[in-house]
Amino acid sequence: MDKPTHKITTPVNAPGFFRQLQNYVQLMRLNQPIGVWLLLWPTLWALWIAGKGHPDGGIFLVFMLGVIIMRSAGCVLNDFADRNIDPYVERTRNRPIASGAVAPAEALTLFIALALIAVGLAAMLNRPAQLLALIAAALTVLYPFIKRFVSIPQFVLGAAFGWAVPMAFAAQTGETPQIAWLVFGTALIWAVIYDTFYAMVDREDDLKVGVKSTAILFGDADLFVIGSLQLLMLAALTLVGKMAEFGVWYYGSVVIAAILMAYHQWLARDRRPASCLNAFLNNHYVGMIVFIGIVLHYTFATNLS
């Protein structure tokens, strides 16, 4: 008897479906995880400090998923808001909405779906964290539009990216102590630093289309101001270490972070777009090194005391 054969049929529209799925992935920037890293590191700082080195596993999972969902939602809304600007900017003209691969209505639908997932995640947290999540949502919606009206949208981005810090403390401990706001301020300063590098990439195009940024505001003093902010961030990190009673592992990470910051200044020294982009992309190592220092402190502090 002949062995039966099973023919696998693929729907005719499968190639189009997967192509559109790829467009959605690009719209959410899941293919460019740098934004996830930049949002993730301050969140991890906060979770580990609030949990004294042992954050709650359930809370950890909620925040890790929340980082990905909120960053994706922010990217979708940003591209929707910039749909009439991105086609005129060299770096962004091939984004899915700007290129016509994704319709604005599709993008809004995707944003709403991601927002609903975020609401579900927030519902798993305690009431103090849920109340702070409302502010996080407002900041996420505000940022894509604020750069048309104020010259310091990077500060709003910093608040949006750093707001996971007080949320993490609230979720872990039920309160937001002084150190929570100090870590939040540190994350905000850091966001202004790296996003100013990022804005320097598009400065010429932004001037043409009327988009505001700290790169435009700082002008020729951009690297000097960034350097001043880097020193301020290092001072804030040192104060965090003192308040949390951290030891040599943490302060060693702060020293390495300072060396990385000097390297970023060197990368952007000629202010060429590609160089500034490299400085931006390399910034996530600062957050990673600080987190490693925090983890090492809680791992080995007993042995050094």
What's the structural domain count of the chain? 1
Q: Is the pLDDT of residue 199 over 90?
A: yes
Q: Which two tokens stand for residue 265?
A: 């200044």
pLDDT average, residue stretch 68-91: 90
Would you state the pLDDT for residue 302?
A: 55
Structure confidence at residue 1 (pLDDT): 39
pTM for the model stands at 0.90
Query: Is there a domain that residue 14 lies in?
Result: no
Residues 193 and 232 sit within 8 Å (Cβ to Cβ): no
Residue 26, domain member (yes or no): no
Does residue 248 belong to any structural domain of this protein? yes
State the average pLDDT for the chain.
Answer: 91
Per-residue pLDDT reduced to its tens digit, 31-44: 999 999 999 999 99
CATH code for the domain of 193:
1.10.357.140
Angle in degrees, 0-180, between the axes of helices 57-81 and 104-122, rounded to the nearest 10? 160
Q: Is residue 21 part of a domain?
A: no
Domain residues for the domain of 237 are: 31-299
For residue 25, being part of any structural domain is answered with no
**Is the pLDDT assigned to residue 12 strictly greater than 80?**
no
The 10s digit of each residue's pLDDT in 218-245 is 999 999 999 999 999 999 999 999 999 9
Residue 24 lies in a domain: no
Full 3-state SS string of 33-94: CHHHHHHHHHHHHHHHHHCCCCCCHHHHHHHHHHHHHHHHHHHHHHHHHCCCCHHHCCCCCC
Res. 300: pLDDT tops 60:
yes
Q: Has residue 210 got a pLDDT over 90?
A: no
Is 18 a domain residue?
no
Residue 109 inside a domain? The answer is: yes
What angle separates helix 178-201 from helix 273-282, to the nearest 10 degrees?
160
